[in-house]
Amino acid sequence: MAFIITDPCITTKDSACVDVCPVDCIHPRKDEAEFADTPMLFIHPDECIDCGACVPACPVSAIYDSPDATPASQKDLIEANAKYRSGDAAAFAEATNIVNAHMSAHPELINIPAAERAAAHQA
């Protein structure tokens, strides 16, 4: 199991979660090359220790505590979190493609302010 970052992170990329994660499994960090171009941040599912520290740190409530807890409208982003790897251009492209497809499929979410998106996930 692992925590999952979802679409309120798109364009937000606040990075407060990165600062509190004890195992540095949230990427890209602001000091990594991919940060400028990534649409959102991702949690490495094999490295996450399920501590929960990132959840209250996120200002837009983008993080769910498991794939099972991730709402139906966000399930596609589970794969994006799993695909992304720092320094791996192909993995970055795959994860970005999933996020772009998600944005195209869910204009009803993307077109509302990021801070209000999580509340709309269950609608």
Where on the chain is the footprint of ligand SF4 (CB under 6 A)? 3, 20-21, 23, 25-26, 43, 48-54
* Smaller CB separation from ligand SF4, 25 or 60: 25
Cα–Cα distance measured from residue 117 to residue 39, given in angstroms and rounded to the nearest whole number: 15
Q: How far is the CB of 58 from ligand SF4 (least distance, A)?
A: 9
Show the CA angle centred on residue 104, arms to residues 41 and 114, nearest 5°.
50
Half-sphere exposure for 66 (CA within 13 Å, toward CB): 3
Q: How far is the CB of 22 from ligand SF4 (least distance, A)?
A: 6
* Smaller CB separation from ligand SF4, 5 or 106: 5
* Smaller CB separation from ligand SF4, 99 or 106: 99
Q: How far is the CB of 107 from ligand SF4 (least distance, A)?
A: 28
* The three-state (H, E, C) secondary structure of 4-30, written as one string: EECHHHCCCCCCHHHHHCCCCCEECCC
Q: Which two tokens stand for residue 3?
A: 């925590």
Number of C-beta neighbours around residue 88 at 10 A: 13
* Smaller CB separation from ligand SF4, 21 or 114: 21
Q: How far is the CB of 21 from ligand SF4 (least distance, A)?
A: 3
